[in-house]
Amino acid sequence: MVTPEQVLSYWVDEVGPKGWYVATDALDAQVREKFAETWSDAQTGACGLWLTSPVGTLGYIVLTDQFPRNMFRGQADAFATDKSARAAAKIAIERDWDLRIPEPVRQFFYMPLMHSENLIDQDRCVRLMKTRLPDSGADNLRHACAHRWIIRQFGRFPFRNTALGRTQTSAETAWLAEGGYGAALRAVDN
């Protein structure tokens, strides 16, 4: 099993900001090869000790929130550990552990809230992006507002429906045809 420091070294130093939000088959395969076993271990509680420090918790959040989106892109497992990541993030934020991590890496404490299909979490994410990322949060805030806009409109993320076996509503189908997430960004930019 890898350590939280190894997770963060890979994500922060090897992948880095230029690769965090770029979807490539090569990156997805690399994340899967390096971290799938530890991600599976996390589901059984084997990474519980990670949650005892700011760095450990951030490593856990990246492992359970960011990495599944790479390892299982387009599949239900991409969201399988969202609840665990969100719980860890909320505890860390309450303890102000996020403030011990420099920007822009700090943003990953807030991503589980952005990925939530709960409007209260979305509101909190927007607030945190505004107040706790003063130097690097402008683009993150824009995306947080777009995610919140989607939840306000649909109560869920329609682009997950296929992976999760959910039936699309006619409004969701129309929105996806009009550009989906790009349409949400345009809505918050206006």
CB 101 within 8 A of CB 66: no
Regarding the domain delimited by 116-190, which CATH topology (the fold level of the hierarchy) does it fall under? 1.25.40
Q: CATH 1.25.40.10 in the chain, residues?
A: 116-190
* Mean pLDDT confidence for 32-60: 98
For residue 122, which amino acid is it? Answer: Q
1 has pLDDT over 90: no
CB 84 within 8 A of CB 46: no
Average pLDDT, the chain: 97
The whole-angstrom separation of Cα 62 and Cα 86 is 11
| pLDDT digits 0-9 by tens, 72-107 | 999 999 999 999 999 999 999 999 999 999 999 999
Q: List, in order, residues 6 or more apart from 162 with CB less than 8 Å away.
A: 74
| pLDDT digits 0-9 by tens, 133-148 | 999 889 999 999 999 9
